[in-house]
Structure 1
Amino acid sequence: MTVRSHRADNAADEVGVWLTGEFGTRLPATEIDRVIRITRIDLESCIAPEELGEMLHRLGRARLLRLLQVTPATKARIPQAR
């Protein structure tokens, strides 16, 4: 994935398109949006702005994969941003 813009809003929108394309048939769009939003908040103050898009994609994707691996009996939640 290559994010062409360094603006946080544009990066989040582009990552949302990528991850919805990958996970949209397995997770509700609201859950994908929630994970992207929380992940963006977690990353914004921790990394260089020009790296936000790639890191948002990588960490968001990892979190969505983790949600898919949880058995129905146990429901994982991505923790709310600090």
Structure 2
Amino acid sequence: MITRSHDVVDEVGVWLAGEFAGRLPAAEIDHVVRATRIDLESSIAPEELGEMLHRLSRARLQRILQLTPATKLRIPRAR
């Protein structure tokens, strides 16, 4: 069961890293996913871990983006 949980955490982390790439650092995304797994561990049925981990982690990452001021994208000038 530990291997399955680890696989789910990795899969959700990769999925959300792709979705939030360029907007949040990979380390922060990984931290949110792993902390969320700990929060869910004893609260839900094991077979629901993947879906609930994705939904809750995604909501937390979106909240972080809302609270973080947008960084300005710098586009180099043409020569």
TM-score by length of structure 1 reads 0.78
Please give the root-mean-square deviation of Cα atoms over the aligned residues, in Å. 1.3
**Cα–Cα, structure 1 residues 50 and 65, in superposed 2: closer, same or farther, change >3 Å?**
same
Q: Deviations over 1:19-56 (max 9, x none)?
A: 00000110000000000010000001100000000000
Is 2:8 aligned against 1:11?
yes
Determine helix, strand or coil for the equivalent of 1:7: helix
Q: What is the aligned length?
A: 67
- Structure 1 gaps of 5+ residues are 1-5, 73-82
Considering Cα pairs closer than 8 Å and 6+ residues apart, tell me whether 1 or 2 has the greater RCO: 1
Letter in 1 for 2:39: D
TM-score by length of structure 2 reads 0.81
Letter in 2 for 1:22: E
| Structure (1 or 2) with the greater helix fraction | 2
Identical amino acids, percent of aligned pairs:
73
